Amino acid sequence: MTNKTYTPSCPAGLEEFIFKIDGIELTCHVEYEPAEQGSRENGIQMEPDYPAEITICGVYAGSEVDIQEIISSDIMDEIEAHVRHEIEEVNDYDY
């Protein structure tokens, strides 16, 4: 008998990241919206700037069960920081 694990496919419009903590591999489905700079005219800011937004939509530990509701807020913060770092590294964003 083999022990197979199943993590759902990442839904369209989301990105998938792997986060490892204490030897456990977590698959995270994340929605990312890049930062937006508001318009400016003659050096005057006409619209506000908006920071990049990261929303963790699902966390899976080798199963199809989303476990984000039972993960501590500290670990969720670590996951978000990891995702932000990965995105900055890949896209060379300056936040």
What confidence score (pLDDT) does residue 35 get? 87
How many structural domains is the chain composed of? 1
**65 lies in which domain range?**
15-91
Q: Please give the DSSP secondary-structure letter assigned to residue 36.
A: B
| Position 10 in a domain | no
Residue that wins the pLDDT comparison between 90 and 47: 47
| Position 26 in a domain | yes
| Position 2 in a domain | no
What confidence score (pLDDT) does residue 90 get? 77
Q: What are phi and psi of 87, to 5 degrees?
A: -65, -45
The answer to pTM > 0.85 is no
| Position 7 in a domain | no
How large is the average pLDDT for residues 28-53? 91
Is the pLDDT at 89 greater than 70? The verdict is yes
